[in-house]
Every structure is written in C-alpha cells, then in structure tokens.
C-alpha cells in the first residue's frame, strides 16, 4: 500500500537493516576508542528513530489491511518470500522499539565499561531482530527474526549481567527455545496442510489466514503457537525465567526486555496464534483468562515479598502483562485496544522503573530495599521522577497506565464480570506494593552513611527520564492520538476472528451432518 522510502530503500527494509549496518561498521572501529563506539551507536539509533517517526504520520488511519507492504520471492519453490508490512498494531510497537533503543544506548553510557564494542554491536543487532519480527508477514521470515532475538539478549545477560548471569541466561535461552521448537513444528504442519488443501506451497501469513482448518487440528496448532508466545510474555506458570533474567541483566537489557521483547509474545497472539486458529482461541478463552487473572494477582502478591528492587519490578511485569492477555482474550474493542495500549504503557512505565533502579545502582552498587531510606532528602530531582513513574505504574488517572488498565477492565467486565472483578483486585495490590516500595526507598530518615552524600541526577539522566515522563503524560491525557492509528486494524482483526470462527463452526456442523447422513445410508443398506 503506502510507498515510502529512505535513500531509495523501502522504509521497512531500511528500519530493519540500518541498525545491522551500524553493527557491521562498529566491527571496524578500534575497541579502545570507546567514545567513538558510543557516539556512533547513538547516531545510528537516533537516525533510526527519526527515520521511523514519519511512519506515524504517513500511516493511513482509515485504510484496511497492511501498509508499507514489501514483497519479493526469496525461495519461490518452497513458498518462502521476503514479505513485510505493518498495521496499526505493529506500527506503535515499531516506534516503541526505536525509541527505547535510543534510551538504552544513553543509559549504558557510563554503566558499561567492559567489552564496550561488543555490547553496542549486540544492541544494534537486537534492534534489527526486533523490528524484523514486528514487520514480517512470512512465517519463515518471522521465525528467523524471532530466533535472532535470542542471541543478543542471551549475550547481554550472560556477558554483562550480574553474579548469577550464566544461570539466568541459560534459563532464558532454554525456556524460549523450547517454545520456539514447538512453534516451528506447528508452522511446518500448517505449511503442508495448506498445500494439501490448496495445492500451493506458502508461508505467507495473509494466505494462511484463509485456510479452513478443522477445529480438532486448530486445538493442537494453537497450543503449540500459544505456548511459545506465553513463554515470551511470560504468562503464569511459564514465567519463572523472567525474574532471574531481569535481576541479572544490565539496566539497558532489563529496559529492552521489559519494553519490547515481552511484547513479542502478546503481539504473537494477535498476529499469528489467534487469527490463524480462531475457533481454538475462542474455545481457550476461559483457560487463558484464568491464567491471566492468576498472573495478575500472583505477580502482585509475590512483588510485595521481594527485598530486591529489580526483582520486585520484574514480578510486577508478570502482573501487568496478565492485564494485556486478559484484554486480548476479552475479544471486544475495549479489551483488545486496552491490551495493545497497555503493551506500550508497560514499555514506558516499567522501562522507566528499571532506569530508575539502574541509576541508583550505579551510585550505591546495591538494589536491596533495606539499604535505602530517606533518599528524597539527598536526591530530590531523582525523587520527583521516581514518584511520577511509580504513579504511572499503578495507573493513576492522568497517566498512561490508567487508560490502558481502565479499557482492559471495561472489556473484561463486558466479556465476563467474574474475570473483571478478580482483575480489579490486582489494581489494589499493585498500588500497595509500588507505594510501599517507594515509601521505603524515598522517605524516612537517612540511616546509611553511604546514602548521605549521593549525587543527584546529572543532565544525561534527567534527559532520559524527561523523555519517559513526556510519554507518560502524553499517553495519559491524549490517548486519541494513538487509538486513531489502531482503530481500523483492531476492528478488522476482531471481525476477521469472529467470522473465521463462525465459518469453522459451520464447517464442523456440515461435516457432522454429512457423516450422519452417510452413516444412515450405510445402515439402510446393511439392513437390506
């Protein structure tokens, strides 16, 4: 649809491979020249951000289907194509990715002192993989980018992480890989099934959407896709890798993991698992909703017990992503839009909290809540930013978090009042543990000598947090700006899923009636 290019290169291809070009160029830079490496990475990530912004304005709010589509044969004999495109859902996630990558580069400026060159190469490589995953409309292409995300994130945790980084990195890798293998098997089955049905070999998602898959087969295929995406979200009970990964990852690793990588799971449900297997997805509503509600409440309760700031925020992600899944499986406009908006909100708010923790860790080299207290007296600017981001995380009206959670709860109540009531308790628990955490860290008497002479935020840190607060306020007071972009896509998505579900049910009924008629004919013949 909409044509748009940078330097003559189609925009999506440019956005995917420009960071990779940056990573390749960094290979030839002297590793001792750390300032040049940091500056070059910042320039590449900033240019990527500025190149992605026109997508927002050139995107047609009313047009249906994918926009900025690029398609070329890759392995035509096998039905594999280089097929890219975005809609109102993936558009916002692409912009979130380019924005948070710049933030991650800036927050790593002083924090990373070892293997600086390799670190920034990994980040640029990761950006390529993330944007590729969000834009891919071919299942093989999607799977390649999906797996490529594993490598840099594994290394970011395993090389630049904390004392238990090896354990956390391996656990992250094994969990994600296990889910990915199941998804690969399901992709191959779907590929051959579609060929048997249509006589065409293709991995094109837009074509595979048209497949008429029996409901019994949908169950197994949906389960394989859903498990892979649920691990990435992560949903209860496959969430156990997340607290370890977050705790051990460097600050920027935690920001990008919370901000973007977890959303790949929820995005996977919306783009692949649900529209490919709608009947199975709708039948799975009770199970997925119950697991989402458990995740909301469990994540909140466990967060209250955490002595480590980073681990507390990590468990809060389990709770917040539970809301996203609850909204998605409400299968109504409010729930799905709220879920997508909360994906963006979580990237900003929880990403901001990880930045806050990273800044205090650089000064005190501890994340234990008991080691703080009274910091508002010695770091007043830090305290203001901490308060704003905390209030955003607990969904205070006027902040971004309120809009997303309100719509999700509205959608949940509309779909099933019980799920809505249970999810509402998570809002209360969330306010309790976040405010309690803030109170213990920021208020009271400064009892630790190491806290008495802490330096307040410098210009770089203030600039980073100002950009996060800007979006917290903008998304809180003017959500229409973002909803306008996703309205048509969400409407189209819901209509498609519901129509495909009806078709699958009718097909099943017709098969049942045909089988019954055949059985009656057979019985009649036998009696003769």
| pLDDT tens by residue, 186-244 | 999 999 999 988 888 899 999 999 888 888 899 999 999 999 999 988 888 888 888 88
474/275 Cα distance (integer angstroms): 31
Does the pLDDT at position 521 exceed 50?
no
Q: What is the pLDDT of residues 458-489, one digit of tens each?
A: 899 999 999 999 999 999 999 999 999 999 99
Q: What is the pLDDT of residues 279-299, one digit of tens each?
A: 999 999 999 999 999 999 999
pLDDT band at 322 (very low <50, low <70, confident <90, very high): very high
CB neighbourhood size of 478 (10 A): 11
User: How far apart, in Å, are the Cα atoms of 386 and each of 242, 397, 454?
Assistant: 23, 17, 16
Does the pLDDT at position 525 exceed 80?
no
**CB burial readout 354-385, b (16+ within 10 A) else e:** bbbbbbbbebbeebebebbbbbbbebeebbeb
pTM: 0.91
481/461 Cα distance (integer angstroms): 27
pLDDT band at 520 (very low <50, low <70, confident <90, very high): low
Report the pLDDT averaged over residues 1-7.
67
pLDDT band at 347 (very low <50, low <70, confident <90, very high): very high
Peptide bond into 237 cis (omega under 30): yes
> Which of 105-109, 282-286, 441-445 is predicted least confidently?
441-445
What does the domain layout of the chain look like in residue ranges?
284-478
Which helix H or strand E contains 86, and what residues bound it? strand 80-86
CB neighbourhood size of 51 (10 A): 17
């Amino acid at each position: 649809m909409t044509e748009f290019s940078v330097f003559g290169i189609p925009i999506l291809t440019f956005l995917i491979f420009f960071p990779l070009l940056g990573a390749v160029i960094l290979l030839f830079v002297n590793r001792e020249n750390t300032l040049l490496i940091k500056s070059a990475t910042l320039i590449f990530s900033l240019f990527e951000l500025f190149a992605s912004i026109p997508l927002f304005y050139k995107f047609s709010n009313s047009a249906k289907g994918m926009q900025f589509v690029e398609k070329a044969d890759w392995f035509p004999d096998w039905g594999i194509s280089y097929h890219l495109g975005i809609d109102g859902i993936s558009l916002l996630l692409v912009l979130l990715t380019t924005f948070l990558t710049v933030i991650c580069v800036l927050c790593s400026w002083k924090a990373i002192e070892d293997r600086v060159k390799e670190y920034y190469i990994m980040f640029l490589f990761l950006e390529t993989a993330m944007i590729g995953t969000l834009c891919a409309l071919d299942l093989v292409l999607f799977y390649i980018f999906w797996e490529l995300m594993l490598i840099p994130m594994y290394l970011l945790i395993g090389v630049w992480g904390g004392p238990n980084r090896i354990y956390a990195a391996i656990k992250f890798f094994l969990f994600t890989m296990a889910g990915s293998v199941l998804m690969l098997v399901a992709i191959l089955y779907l590929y051959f099934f579609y060929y048997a049905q249509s006589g065409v070999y293709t991995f094109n998602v837009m074509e595979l959407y048209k497949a008429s898959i029996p409901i019994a087969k949908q169950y197994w295929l949906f389960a394989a896709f859903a498990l892979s995406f649920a691990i990435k979200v992560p949903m209860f009970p496959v969430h156990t890798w997340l607290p370890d990964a977050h705790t051990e990852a460097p600050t920027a690793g935690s920001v990008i993991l919370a901000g973007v990588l977890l959303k790949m799971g929820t995005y996977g449900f919306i783009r692949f698992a649900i529209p490919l297997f709608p009947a199975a997805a709708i039948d799975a509503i009770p199970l997925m909703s119950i697991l989402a509600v458990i995740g909301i409440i469990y994540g909140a309760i466990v967060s209250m017990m955490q002595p480590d700031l980073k681990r507390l925020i990590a468990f809060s992600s389990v709770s917040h992503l539970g809301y996203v899944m609850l909204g998605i499986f409400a299968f109504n406009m409010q729930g799905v839009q709220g879920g997508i908006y909360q994906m963006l909100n979580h990237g900003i708010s929880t990403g901001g909290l990880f930045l806050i923790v990273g800044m205090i860790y650089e000064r005190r080299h501890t994340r234990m809540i008991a080691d703080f207290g009274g910091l508002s007296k010695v770091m007043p600017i830090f305290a203001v930013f901490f308060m704003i981001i905390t209030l955003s995380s607990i969904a205070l009206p006027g902040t971004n978090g309120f809009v997303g959670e309100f719509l999700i709860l509205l959608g949940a109540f509309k779909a099933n009042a019980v799920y809505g009531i249970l999810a509402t308790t998570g809002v209360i628990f969330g306010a309790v543990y976040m405010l309690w955490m803030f109170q213990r860290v920021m208020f009271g008497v400064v009892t630790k000598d190491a806290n008495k002479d802490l330096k307040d935020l410098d210009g770089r840190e203030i600039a980073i947090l100002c950009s996060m607060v800007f979006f917290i306020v903008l998304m809180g007071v003017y959500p229409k700006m973002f909803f306008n972009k996703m309205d048509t896509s969400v409407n189209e998505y819901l209509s498609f899923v519901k129509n495909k579900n009806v078709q699958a049910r009718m097909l099943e009924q017709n098969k049942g009636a045909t089988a019954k008629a055949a059985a009656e004919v057979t019985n009649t013949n036998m009696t003769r």
